[in-house]
Amino acid sequence: MAQDIYLTGITTTGTPHIGNYVGAIRPGIEASKDLSTQHFYFLADYHSLAKNEDPKKIRQSTLEIAAAWLALGLDTDHATFYRQSDIPEIPELTWILTSMTAKGLMNRAHSYKASVQANLEGESKDPDKGISMALYSYPVLMAADILMFKSTKIPVGQDQKQHVEMARDIAGRFNHHYGEVFVLPEPIISDDTAVLKGLDGRKMSKSYNNTIPLLADEKTLRKLIMKIRTDSLAPEEPKETRDNTLFDIYRAFASTEEVEQIAQRYTQGIAWGEMKQLLFETINAQLKDAREDYLRLLAEPTLVEEELLKGAKKARDLATPYLRKIREAIGIRPLG
C-alpha cells in the first residue's frame, strides 16, 4: 500500500490557545515523529481572509502560530511546514477545481448555511449580508490545499469533516471527467476528549473569548486559571469529576496515574483553589521551556520566516510538476 500522507491547515486568526494545543498542535507534532508517513502542516492565511480583514492581525497571527509549532518542537526536516500563500500553485488549482465544483454542493456547506440562517434571523433579512465569495468558496480552496499534495488522511475537528468530504467529491468529479489525476482524501476526526473547555465551561474557542493563550507568561496563565468558573461547593465537600472544566483541562496535561490520584482527591473534597494551583503548576511545567523559545522567535521573526521558506521550497518542489500534469489533463498545454 502507498504511504499515507497526512495534511492539515491552521487558519491564521488569533493567538494559539491551549485548546489548539491539545486538539491539533500536540497530536500533530507527535504524529510527525512517525517516519513511515509523510506530514504537511501549513498556515492557511488565504483562508483567514474570509474571517479576518485586518492585515496587522493576520501577520501577527501567522507569526504566533508558526512560532508556537516551532517552539513546541515540530521537526521541519521531516514534516513540511509552510504558509499557504507561499505556494502560488494552490490558488491556481483552486480556480481549476472551481470549474469542477457544483454550485449546489457549495450551497450545502454547513458553515455557509449557518451564516445565511443567522442573516435570515437578523434584522436585515438579507440572506447574503456580509457573505463574501471567499466564505462561499472556502471549501474549494480547502480542496486545493488537500489535493495539491496527494494527501490521504486529513486530521480535522468535527466542524471541518464536511469540507474534507467536499474535497473528495470535487476530486471524484474531476477524475471522472478528466481521468485519474487526484488521490481521494479521507477525514480523520479527533475524538471529543480532544476538545477542551474554556474559562466559562463552553468549548474553548476564540469566538467565545474564553481561551487560555498557549504560551502566555506565568502571571497571565495563573490569573486565567484562577478565573475558570466553578460551582460554590465548600472545600471539604465531595466533588464530581464529570463535566468539570478544571478536571478536563487537567486530564489533558497529566499522566493517567496523576489523573487517578486527583479523581480520588475530588471524592475526598479537594478545594477549588488548590485544584487551580495544581492545574497551573502542571501546565506551566509542561510549557515553560517552549515559552522561552517562543518569545525568542517572536523577537526574531526572520528565524520563523526562514523556516517557512524552507517548507515552501519543499512544498513547491512537489506542487510545480504536479500542477503541470493537472493543466495538461484539462487541456491547458503548450501548443507546439
Is residue 63 within 8 Å of 304, Cβ to Cβ? yes
Interface residue with ligand TRP, options 90, 93, 96, 142 (CB under 6 A): 142
323 binds ligand TRP (CB under 6 A): no
44 scored as a contact of ligand TRP (CB under 6 A)? yes
Question: Residue 246, interface with ligand TRP (CB under 6 A)?
Answer: no
* C-beta of 154 vs 170, nearer to ligand TRP: 154
Kind of pairing, strands 38-44 and 80-83? parallel
- Rank residues 182 and 250 by Cβ distance to ligand TRP and give the closer one: 182
Which residue's C-beta sits nearest to ligand TRP?
9
Instruction: Report the DSSP beta bridge partners of residue 44.
Output: 11
66 makes contact with ligand TRP (CB under 6 A)? no
Helix axes 218-226, 272-299, angle to 10 degrees: 150
Instruction: Answer yes or no whether residue 211 interacts with ligand TRP by CB under 6 A.
Output: no
User: Among residues 165 and 258, whose Cβ is nearest to ligand TRP?
Assistant: 165
Torsion of CA 65, 69, 71, 77, to 10 degrees: -130
CA end-to-end distance (rounded Å), the chain: 38
Binding flag, residue 38, ligand TRP (CB under 6 A): no
Give the one residue of 5, 6, 11, 239 binding ligand TRP; rule: CB under 6 A: 11
> Which residue in the set 32, 38, 94, 160 belongs to the binding site for ligand TRP (CB under 6 A)?
160
> How far apart are alpha carbons 277 and 112 in whole angstroms?
42
Distance CA 82, CA 250 (A): 32
Of the pair 89, 222, the CB lying nearest ligand TRP is at 89
∠ CA 9-12-14, nearest 5°, is 130
- Positions in the binding site for ligand TRP (CB under 6 A): 7-9, 11, 44, 47, 142, 145-146, 154, 156, 160
